[in-house]
C-alpha cells in the first residue's frame, strides 16, 4: 500500500465510507455487471472469505472453504462480519451482491495475472489461498486504486464486527461470549445491563455529580 495505516485510521476511513454510502449509494453495480452477480450462497462465501482475510480465524469444519484457517480461534466471520454487513442500519444490504461480484472479478483478474487456475466449484475469491487473498486485499485497498474506498469500507466493517459487535446489543453480546469482545477483554455489565466502574480512572474524584442526577446516571 502507498500509506501505512493503523487500526484506528482504518476504522475511521471505513466508517466514513459507510456513511457516504448511506448518504448517496455508490454505483456499485458498475463494479460487477448484472450477469456477473453471484447468488446468495456465493455472496455469503465471498464476503466471509474477505472478512476472514482481514481478521482470520479457525475453520468451522474441515469442509469450510470461506475461512482459510490461518489463525486459531474465532475471527471476523465468527464475530458476525456478514451479519453486520447485512445490518439494516449499515445500509449496505442492497449492494452486497455487487460488492461480492466485484471481489470475484478482481480475484479472476488476479488469477489471470499470476497464472493461477482457480477451483471452479467456489467463487474466485474463495478459491484463493490465504496468502493470495492477503496480497489481493492489499492491492484493493491501495490508495492508487480508483475503488479503494469500497474495499476499505468492507475491511473496516469486518473490524467493527469483531471489536464492537456493532450489530448486537452490547450487554447480550458480552454475556454470550462474543469472540471479539472477549478477545479484547471487554468487561461484563452489571446485572441490570449497565456498566459501572468502582475506581476512578484518574485515581481521584474529578467532579461531584449534579444533585439531581438519577440512580442510572442521567440528569433529572
Give this prediction's pTM.
0.79
Compute the distance between CA of residue 82 and CA of residue 47 in angstroms, rounded to an integer.
Answer: 7
Q: Grade residue 39 by pLDDT with cuts at 50, 70 and 90.
A: confident
Using CA atoms in the order 50, 51, 57, 63, what is the torsion angle rounded to 10 degrees?
Answer: -50
Could you state, in order of their start, the residue ranges of all structural domains in the chain? 7-171
Position 111 pLDDT exceeds 90 = yes
Interval 179-200: pLDDT, tens: 999 999 999 999 999 988 777 7
- pLDDT value for 217: 75
Amino acid at each position: 500500500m502507498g500509506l501505512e495505516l493503523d487500526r484506528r485510521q482504518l476504522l475511521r476511513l471505513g466508517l466514513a465510507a459507510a456513511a457516504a454510502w448511506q448518504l448517496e449509494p455508490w454505483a456499485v453495480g458498475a463494479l460487477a455487471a448484472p450477469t456477473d452477480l453471484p447468488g446468495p450462497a456465493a455472496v455469503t462465501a465471498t464476503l466471509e472469505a474477505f472478512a476472514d482475510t482481514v481478521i482470520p480465524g479457525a475453520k468451522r469444519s474441515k469442509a469450510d472453504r470461506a475461512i482459510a484457517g490461518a489463525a486459531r480461534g474465532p475471527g471476523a466471520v465468527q464475530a458476525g462480519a456478514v451479519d453486520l454487513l447485512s445490518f439494516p442500519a449499515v445500509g449496505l444490504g442492497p449492494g452486497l451482491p455487487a460488492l461480492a461480484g466485484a471481489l470475484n472479478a478482481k480475484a479472476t483478474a488476479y488469477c489471470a495475472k499470476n497464472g493461477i487456475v482457480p477451483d471452479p466449484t467456489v467463487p474466485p475469491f474463495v478459491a484463493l489461498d490465504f496468502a493470495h487473498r492477503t496480497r489481493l486485499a492489499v492491492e484493493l485497498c491501495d490508495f492508487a486504486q480508483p475503488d479503494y474506498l469500497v474495499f476499505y469500507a468492507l475491511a473496516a466493517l469486518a473490524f467493527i464486527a469483531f471489536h464492537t459487535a456493532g450489530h448486537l446489543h452490547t450487554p447480550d453480546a458480552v454475556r454470550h461470549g462474543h469472540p471479539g469482545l472477549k478477545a479484547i477483554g471487554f468487561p461484563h455489565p452489571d446485572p441490570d445491563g449497565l456498566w459501572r466502574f468502582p475506581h476512578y480512572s484518574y485515581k481521584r474524584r474529578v467532579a461531584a455529580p449534579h444533585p439531581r442526577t438519577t440512580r442510572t446516571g442521567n440528569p433529572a
